Structure 1
């Protein structure tokens, strides 16, 4: 098993253990090809490294799916890769099964329904998971187009997992054994979606996943460690690319400032995000919030570390 394939398994198993569902090939719209699972696009079909459906669908909208491209590169993922992912998203979201017969029949006022290839309409969101991080240009482009960037290299479990896989081109571990190890890790994980649409993986080192409070705050110590999200008596490690987390904090601050201007009272205003996790093997969804003062503290620490003034 190649290391790239092992990385795909890691990403996929984490999502599934949190509660996402695997999308199985239907043989037409999504099918199995020589490169793996393929999905039809307007211009061409595309390889889908990891294809999933979320725990719940948003009412009044097309059903949503998530396609994750997994990159096991020596160097950081660059701008060209993220541009390509944006093109992929556009191509698969504009796909429709139409042939000449259907187009000709549409011209008739008394036509019958002749589309023999009905399929559910999906809106596809895309994300990129990388073992080596992302360039600044790639991060800026991804943030603008709401493409989630996923990395784990600072997370507490990552080095142990990489040691199991090995440093060579081929992973030193069997697929089933790898899945078992990932399942143990992901049983302590949740995934959040920020107000910017960024996926945020949360890892709890002690105890089971739970969010006992409705509010949270975030802490950071230095560039070599992940951030900490604290909710009640629970602490979670999380990691985001530097530009992405800076953009998220700034966006959340601006969001609260706008609320203050629109609603002129002394209420405490919050920025929210949705957390998905499993409890007793059942999917759970919860909204947690952070207030303006805690965001200011996080931004201050971010600036101190960026300027080399952290102590």
Structure 2
């Protein structure tokens, strides 16, 4: 088993345990090929690393699916990868089954049935990376609302690395590649870890299009209030989202942190930038999670009272 495959298994099974479901091949639009699961596009067929449906669909819209491209690069993901993913999303969302029979049938005004009757989906494509993203890649992804996923600051990450890099946890150049007869045992270990992580996990989609994996260390019973607050202290540590009685850890791309810090010359300015970024990027979230083994979707909003108090404190500092 190669490193990329191990990463795909982990990401897929974490999301399955949050409530997402695997998309089964229909042997036409989606089928199993030599590289794995394949999906038709307008111009080409594409390998789908992780292809899932969310636990709850949005009424009055096309049904949605999530395709995650997992990148096991030893370096950070760059612009070319993001450009490729933007093209991938365009290609699979513009695919349609139109052949000579369909075109001929359209000429008849009294046709009574569809030549090809299949469900259409709207696809969102995300990138998951082992070693992060360059700042230009983050900027391009944000412009086109491509979610960027990374876990290297999360509490469970070192345990995953121990499975795929035994003895080389901190060596980013180490290329995991197990023997064939070891694959089944390693896959089982990865799935077991993903199941345990998934018990503590919710997935949020922000109003800026970013996906957040919210990891709760205080309880396996995921619950959210109607609002939340955000807390961040050190660049090496994950963020905290507090809602109700629970505390969740999550990561944000470095570009948002850099936005806070790039022009800030003192602590007061950093706090001002933090408040601005929270409002702009993270004011509302749709959260997917399981409650009593049933899928739940909930909208939560940033705690306006806390933001107001923070602004008032900053005003007193300015005086």
TM-score (norm 1): 0.85
Q: How does 1:204-219 map to 2 (within 5 A)?
A: 204-219=216-231
Cα distance in 1 between the residues matched to 2:294 and 2:44: 37
Asked whether 1:3 is paired with 2:7, we answer: no
Asked whether 1:164 is paired with 2:186, we answer: no
The runs of 4+ residues in structure 1 deviating greater than 6 Å are: 296-299
Q: How many pairs align? A: 284
Deviation at 1:103, TM superposition (A): 1.3
Query: Contact (CA 8 Å) 2:130, 2:150: kept in 1 or not?
Result: yes
Where does residue 35 of structure 1 map in the other structure?
35
Deviation at 1:213, TM superposition (A): 2.5
Cα distance in 2 between the residues matched to 1:282 and 1:72: 32
Cα distance in 2 between the residues matched to 1:289 and 1:193: 12
Change (3 A) 1:297 1:181: farther
Where does residue 134 of structure 1 map in the other structure?
133
Cα distance in 1 between the residues matched to 2:280 and 2:219: 35
Residue deviations 1:277-304, cap 9 Å, x none? 11221112222211346458999xxxxx
Where does residue 302 of structure 1 map in the other structure?
none
Query: Contact (CA 8 Å) 2:256, 2:277: kept in 1 or not?
Result: no
Cα distance in 1 between the residues matched to 2:79 and 2:198: 30
In structure 2, runs of 5+ residues without a counterpart are 166-173, 261-273, 312-319
Query: Contact (CA 8 Å) 1:72, 1:130: kept in 2 or not?
Result: yes
Where does residue 253 of structure 1 map in the other structure?
279
Query: Contact (CA 8 Å) 1:38, 1:46: kept in 2 or not?
Result: yes
Query: Contact (CA 8 Å) 1:3, 1:165: kept in 2 or not?
Result: yes
Cα distance in 1 between the residues matched to 2:309 and 2:129: 29
Cα distance in 2 between the residues matched to 1:138 and 1:298: 32
Cα distance in 2 between the residues matched to 1:177 and 1:159: 14
Change (3 A) 1:249 1:43: farther
Residue deviations 1:30-87, cap 9 Å, x none? 0000110000000011000000000111111111000000000011000110111011
SS in structure 1 opposite 2:197? helix
Residue deviations 1:145-191, cap 9 Å, x none? 11100000000110111011114431575211210121111111111
Q: How does 1:12-31 map to 2 (within 5 A)?
A: 12-31=12-31
Where does residue 67 of structure 2 map in the other structure?
67
SS in structure 2 opposite 1:142? helix
Where does residue 185 of structure 1 map in the other structure?
197
SS in structure 2 opposite 1:216? strand
Query: Contact (CA 8 Å) 2:164, 2:176: kept in 1 or not?
Result: no
Where does residue 264 of structure 1 map in the other structure?
none
Where does residue 153 of structure 1 map in the other structure?
152
Query: Contact (CA 8 Å) 2:82, 2:141: kept in 1 or not?
Result: yes
Cα distance in 1 between the residues matched to 2:8 and 2:309: 36
Cα distance in 1 between the residues matched to 2:97 and 2:23: 19
Cα distance in 2 between the residues matched to 1:298 and 1:144: 29
Deviation at 1:234, TM superposition (A): 1.2
Query: Contact (CA 8 Å) 1:143, 1:244: kept in 2 or not?
Result: no
Asked whether 1:284 is paired with 2:296, we answer: yes
TM-score (norm 2): 0.83
Cα distance in 2 between the residues matched to 1:98 and 1:295: 52
Query: Contact (CA 8 Å) 1:196, 1:251: kept in 2 or not?
Result: no
Query: Contact (CA 8 Å) 2:64, 2:124: kept in 1 or not?
Result: yes
In structure 1, runs of 5+ residues without a counterpart are 256-269, 300-311
